[in-house]
Amino acid sequence: MNKFLLLILVLAVALGWWMLGRRREGGPGGAGSARGASRSKPAAGEPATMVACNHCGVHLPQPEAQFDAAGRPYCSEAHRLAGPR
């Protein structure tokens, strides 16, 4: 009987701990849902300029692009070596 009561107590504590974690993360329901939405926003600052790869046309942030000697952006080293289409 004591083992059964201990098991129920452990499950109740674990369930309470799990629900508290969901509330802090802004899960569905609970007071933390408004706070969770603000966490997903990017940090304040300027957004990165997007450029299109001259080979395949995919858009990527300018800091992640690779440029050829003429300054044309590419999404990867392979596309930079292949050149524009």
What is the percentage of the chain residues whose pLDDT exceeds 70?
76
- Verify that 30 and 58 share a domain, yes or no: no
- Verify that 32 and 56 share a domain, yes or no: no
**pTM beyond 0.85, yes or no:** no
The residue among 51 and 45 whose pLDDT is bigger is: 51
Q: How far is CA 18 from CA 14, 21, 23, 42, 84, in A?
A: 6, 5, 9, 26, 53
Q: Is residue 44 part of a domain?
A: no
Domain range for 14 is 2-39
pLDDT digits (tens, 9 = 90+) for 3-40: 999 999 999 999 998 888 877 766 555 444 444 444 44
Q: Is residue 61 part of a domain?
A: yes
